[in-house]
Structure 1
Amino acid sequence: YFNIFGPKQNPDNPYAAVIPLFCRAFIEDIQPLINGDGTTSRDFTFVENVLHANDLALFTDSADALDQVYNVACGDQVSLNEMVQMLRDITGKNIQANHGPERPGDVKHSKADISKIKTRLGYQPKVLMQDGLRVVYEWNKKMYEAKQLQTQN
C-alpha cells in the first residue's frame, strides 16, 4: 500500500501523517510546514481504494491473479506544493506553506506501478487525490468544530 489516507487520522498524534497535519493547518488558518522545497511527491491512496483492491483480490476467480503481490495506489504522484494548492482550492483560503529544511534521508519521490493489479484484478482507483482530500478536510473540520464546542461548554 502506498501512502494511505482517509478520515479518522489524528493530527494530534506525534507520528501524524502530512495530510491530517495540513488539513488542521488550513482549518486553523496557519501555514502548513513543508520540509524542503515542496517538490517531494508521493502516491497518495485514499482508503476506499485500498478496500476496493482488497475486495477484488479476495473475490477473484482468476487463477492468474491468485498468490500475487500487488501495489495498491493511484499510480500518480502529488507533490506537497500541489497538495497545498488542492487545499487552497477546497477551502478557498490563500494560505502559503512555510518551508523548512529537508529531512535527511527522506525519499524524494514515490510512485507505484499499478499495471499488474490493473491487468490481473481489473483494479482502477475509485477516489482520486483531490476528491479524497476534500473528504478528509471536511471530516477534520467537523471534528475540530465539535472539539471547539466541547471546550466552550
Structure 2
Amino acid sequence: MAYWLMKSEPDVYGIDDLAAAPDGTDHWDGVRNYQVRNMMRDRMQPGDLAFFYHSNTKPPGIAGIMEIASVGYPDHTAFDPESKYYDPKSDPDNPRWYMVDVRFVRRLSRYLPLDELKANPALAEMPLVKKGNRLSVMPVTEEQWQAILAMEQAGD
C-alpha cells in the first residue's frame, strides 16, 4: 500500500463534498500537471490511502482521509468543451490527462493546519512543508503518515 496527500480547494470540492457523494466515492479530476498525472496513471492503486488536504483557504491543512478506489483512467473532463478542465490537445485515443476514483474514509478528529505540520520535525522532508512545492498530489512515506496520525491523536 502507498500513501498520498491530495489537495483541493474546499470551496471548489472539499471533504464534505466527497462524504456526500454516492457511496462516498467520486472521481478526482482536473489534474493538469504531468508529474501528478504520472502518479495517478502509473502509481496509485486501489487500497492506497490519501490525506484530503484543503488548500487555498485559511488556514490550509489536512481535513480527512480517503482511499484510492480505482486505477488511473482517462480524465473525461479534458474532452468536454464545456468543462473548465477542457484541453483541446487531449485525444480520447491518446489521452493526456488521467484521474482516479477516491472514497471517503473519515474526517480527522481535528483539522491539522499547515503551520502545525511544518512545526513537526518528523515531517521536515515531506514535500508539502518544503518551499516551492506546489503539486496537488504528492507521495507520503509510511513514517510521515504515522507521524500525522499521531499529531491528530495528540490533540484529542
TM-score, length-scaled by structure 2:
0.24
Higher helix share: 1
Which of the pair has more CA radius of gyration?
A: 1
